[in-house]
Amino acid sequence: MARIELNELSKSFESTHAVRGIDLDIAHGEFVVLVGPSGCGKSTTLRMIAGLEEITDGEIKIGDRVVNHIPPKDRDIAMVFQNYALYPHMTVAENMSFGLRLRRLPAEEIKGRVDEAADILNIAELMSRRPKQLSGGQRQRVAMGRAIVRNPQVFLFDEPLSNLDAMLRVQMRTEIKKIHQRVRTTVVYVTHDQIEAMTLADRVVVMNGGIIEQVATPQEMYEKPATRFVAGFIGSPSMNFVPCQITENGDALAVSFGGDLALKVPADRNGRYRPYLGREMIFGIRPEHLTEQRAHTGEGQEDFGADVVVLEPMGIDTMVFIDIEGTEVCARSTPREAGNVGERMGFTVDMNNMHLIDPDSSVVV
């Protein structure tokens, strides 16, 4: 296992800045997921750690070594790619042992490592097969096995599940998590799928436009996003954003939406939001905190009515879309309580889970 440090790491392709001076510290044995949309710099960052991409500026440390100019084969890392990259003419056992044989390790040690990896990955019965005889999930297990047998300081995963169907991706997420619990090696994992990031990571790194927007545990990222981008990217369905103003009513503050609708701000946030009184702001609320009208279980819950515009039944829940002063908003309802399209429906919003965003800086205040 090894700690990884990225210090002011940058990468430019001529005039295009793919990664813009990022800092990141990854602890021994930690599972860190880099997530973000296409072009955000996550794969470029991973490739720089691997040594497959030259650094424009900054420093990478793996363990106690600065590895900026160390070739990939000498960095003591193992990488699992999106396309498996298995040799079609070799058996599973030969694919998994290939790197060890190149290093001329003793045959007994090679067999021991391969057998152990096969046991961890539950592929012992596949060892004599060739890649064309395997399913996508089995091929991905073999690719992971080839990395595990090397016993590296760091595992690097580059969107390893993106070629699998939805059901198999869910199964493989669970398998990868189990494997990390058994093989406590430092992992850096790249994906564009925020659900994959949230379910796998010890910490999530959200990237956007070559910079890091936020680094946090999955729960902290969900509950306390630092920016509007993070708030909208993490969570499914994504957070609702509605233009608003903070208004005053005696000692209390309210979120006003321009028409008759105004929702009282929880008292413990008055001091925090008072500096934004009268300013144009953005109100953020997740669909699960905007529900069909319910009995209040505590302070900070507000009721209002709105016409149903669209219904999306999801089985256990129904997504109810409404309009708030020209902005489409998604609420989450139990199927039996969801109204019909065009009907008036009562809603309860949990203001304890609201987010107030400065539109100029995009920071959650």
> Distance between CA 329 and CA 331 in Å, rounded?
7
At residue 1, the pLDDT reads 59
Closest by CA to 319, choosing from 332, 306, 309, is 332
Q: How many CB atoms lie within 10 A of CB 188?
A: 26
Rounded Cα distance, 94 and 174, in Å:
26
Please tell me whether residues 215 and 320 are part of one structural domain: no
DSSP-based helix, strand, coil % in the chain, nearest 5: 30, 35, 35
Domain that holds residue 320: 240-357
pLDDT score, position 158: 92
Domain total of the chain: 2
Q: What is the pLDDT of residues 176-208, one digit of tens each?
A: 888 888 888 999 999 999 999 999 999 999 999
**What residue spans of 153-217 are helical by DSSP H?**
166-182, 194-200
Burial class (CB in 10 A: 0-12, 13-18, 19+), 325: middle
Whether 56 and 181 share a structural domain: yes
pTM comes to: 0.91
pLDDT tens-digit profile of 139-148? 988 998 998 8
| Domain containing residue 148: CATH number | 3.40.50.300
pLDDT of 182:
84
| 56 plus 158 within the same structural domain | yes
> Is 331 among the domain residues?
yes
Please identify, among 178, 211, 233, the residue that sits at the C-terminal boundary of a domain: 233
- Do residues 51 and 145 share a domain? yes
Q: Which stretches of the chain drop beneath a pLDDT of 50? A: none
Residue 156 confidence (pLDDT) = 95
Which residue is associated with the tokens 């028409």?
Answer: 259
Are residues 266 and 137 part of one domain? no
Do 159 and 194 lie in one domain? The reply is yes
Last residue of a domain, one of 200, 233, 266: 233
Give the DSSP H or E segment for 128: none
Of 176, 206, 233, the domain-final residue: 233
